[in-house]
Amino acid sequence: MTEKADIRHLDLAPIPFGTPLPAKVSAQTLELLLTRRSAPAPTLGLPAPSEDEMEVLLKIGFRVPDHGKIGPWRIVRFTTESKARLVDNLRALAEARDDKAQAGALLKLSTPPEALLVVYSPVQPHKIPLWEQMGSAFAICQNLLIAAGAMGYGANWITDWYAYDAEAKSLLGLKDGEEVAGFIYLGTPSEAPLERDRPDYAERVSFWEG
């Protein structure tokens, strides 16, 4: 899959507060969402999104519901080089622990060309429940997957031991109280992902009978 969307006409200027935003009807978007799939990280190669494309992705990423407008999230970017350094540091950590499973799990992190790290920061006790702050951060991850797909890239949202391990979190630069919402891998898939099992609609949707 090498075809990419033409993003040159997109207007990225901030939209003034209060500007009316009429709905944009798009059957193509519906089609995209009906067949959306993550691309397994190991299939993601070059080209990765360009700087211009990345700007579009990030701006779409941040356009998520956010109760209280508190922005309980930040995104840290990795280049191929900084990601390689991260992998080296994590490998050293795993080897110091003699943890082969942890070392092996780094393969995924070392394969694709570029990753975005999405971190949520629900540090401040706030009247907006933590659960909702986390939901907003997860919505960023999902927006990134959708936008990457629409642009002609593949994306994969993962976590792993290094998203939860205290020393690894410190290497990643997380502040106290911050958690990783997801690592978003981006690249061009070498093959089309295959459909996976999907939940049964009738099993998951019901009318309230109270």
Cα–Cα nearest to 125, from 87, 177, 195, 66: 177
37 annotated binding-site participant: yes
36 annotated binding-site participant: yes
157 annotated binding-site participant: yes
**Helix 130-151 to helix 51-61 angle, to the nearest 10 degrees?**
140
Task: Examine residue 4 and tell whether it contacts ligand FMN (CB under 6 A).
Answer: no
Nearer CB in complex with ligand FMN: 12/107: 107
Task: Examine residue 134 and tell whether it contacts ligand FMN (CB under 6 A).
Answer: no
Write the CB contacts of 44 (distance below 8 Å, at least 6 apart in sequence).
111, 112, 113, 154, 155, 156, 185, 186, 187, 188, 189, 190
121 annotated binding-site participant: no
63 annotated binding-site participant: yes
Query: In this chain, which residue has its C-beta nearest to ligand FMN?
Result: 38
Nearer CB in complex with ligand FMN: 55/74: 74
The residue within the footprint of ligand FMN, chosen from 4, 37, 59, 74 (CB under 6 A), is: 37
Size of the site for ligand FMN (CB under 6 A): 9
Which residues inside 90-129 make contact with ligand FMN, applying CB under 6 A? none
Which residues inside 148-167 make contact with ligand FMN, applying CB under 6 A? 156-160
What span, in angstroms and rounded, lies between the C-alpha atoms of 14 and 158?
Answer: 30
Which residues inside 178-197 make contact with ligand FMN, applying CB under 6 A? 182, 196
208 annotated binding-site participant: no
Q: List Cα–Cα distances, 155 to 13, 75, 143, 207, in angstroms.
A: 25, 16, 11, 34
Binding site for ligand FMN (CB under 6 A): 37-38, 156-160, 182, 196
Binding residues: 36-38, 63, 67, 157-159
